[in-house]
Amino acid sequence: MTDYTDLSLKNFFIYNVLYGQKEGEEEKKIMFFYPKDTNIDLQIKDVGLSEAIVKFSETFSSETCDALQTEKTRRLFFQPEKNFWMVLSAAHFFQTINVPTNKKGKDGLDGIEYRGGEIQNTVYSAVLRQSYFMAKLFIGPFMQLVESQEGDTELLRRRLDKFFSLYLSTLRLKNCDILDVFQGVRFLPLDKTIFLHAQCFVNVIEASFPVIDYSVFLYEDELIW
């Protein structure tokens, strides 16, 4: 019998290298971290490791590192905004995903096989970029929020926590595919009666609120109308 584990989100965090420069204040550079119950020392360690990886990669290329692959995990990097990672420059997004596995041999006695080949960097980099675009849509550019508070990051932290606490729960990494690269959307087929109910609902909303020019009706990330 063969056991499998699915692709899963290990952690997701955002940090700003301009903050937490003094020893003992490293946690100040962490704007958001998932899982939220992760020990702060582990958060600092993960952020420090990621920051070191990016700096190390800069010695070999002028382009920023966008992915790190190990046997067990894949770590993806994204620099969404200038001036937010932060040499006054950038906020860095990191997403680490657990590689799917299955046990080898009878009763799994031959060890665990990590199926890292099933993870396509292009797909999950697109998922990571899209998570930023969605955050920007709902809470605004990160640096703009910081500047509006004269450098205080507390407002940004609260909004990131509120947004990503909900957004990350909607991610279905194991179902991500080429459609995510092109930011595509799936249609949800419905029978005529249910579709007409959905269309009627949209028509009522548009009639009640003339300010609405265009509408889209989605159910669990799939397009109905």
pLDDT of residue 4: 42
User: Widest CA span of the chain, in angstroms?
Assistant: 66
Q: State both tokens at 196.
A: 């007409």
pLDDT of residue 207: 92
One domain, residues 120 and 71? yes
Question: Is there a single domain that holds both residue 60 and residue 75?
Answer: yes
**Same domain for 126 and 210?**
no
Give the pLDDT of residue 186. Answer: 73
HSE-up (13 A, CA, CB side) for residue 106: 0
Parent domain of 208 = 186-223
Tell me the C-alpha distance between 220 and 185, whole Å. 11
pLDDT value for 203: 92
Query: Could you tell me if 156 and 207 lie in one domain?
Result: no
pLDDT for the residue 50: 82
Query: 206 and 112, same structural domain?
Result: no
DSSP 13-72: EEEETTS--STT-GGGGEEEEESTTS-HHHHHHHHHHHHHHHHHHTTT-SSPP-EEE-SS
Does one domain contain both 41 and 144?
A: yes
Residue 189: is it exposed, middle or buried by C-beta count within 10 angstroms (0-12/13-18/19+)? exposed
Q: Do 17 and 101 lie in a common domain?
A: yes
Q: What is the pLDDT of residue 219?
A: 81
Whether residue 168 sits in one domain with residue 216 = no
Is residue 195 located within the same domain as residue 176?
Answer: no
How do the pLDDT tens digits run along the chain, 225 residues long? 344 445 677 788 888 888 888 888 889 988 989 888 889 999 898 888 888 888 888 788 777 767 776 666 777 888 887 645 432 222 345 555 555 555 555 554 455 554 545 556 677 777 778 888 888 989 999 989 989 998 899 999 999 999 989 988 887 766 665 555 556 667 788 888 988 998 999 999 999 999 988 888 888 767 888
CATH of the domain at 133: 3.30.450.70
Considering the domain architecture, whether residues 144 and 199 belong to the same structural domain is answered as no
Which helix (DSSP H) or strand (DSSP E) does residue 106 occupy? none
Is 115 in the same domain as 216? no
* Contact (CB, 8 A) for 72 and 115: no
Q: Tell me, what's the pLDDT at 157?
A: 93
Separation CA 185–CA 102 (nearest Å): 31
* Per-residue model confidence (pLDDT) at position 163: 93
Q: What is the model's pLDDT at position 145?
A: 92
* pLDDT value, residue 217: 87
Instruction: Round to the nearest angstrom and report the end-to-end CA distance of the chain.
Output: 44
Paired strand residues for 95: 12, 76
User: What is the C-alpha separation between 29 and 55, in angstroms, rounded?
Assistant: 16
Residues 18 and 90 in one domain: yes
Work out how many domains the chain is built from and give that number: 2
Judge residue 12's burial from the number of C-beta atoms within 10 Å of its C-beta, 0-12 exposed, 13-18 middle, 19 or more buried: buried
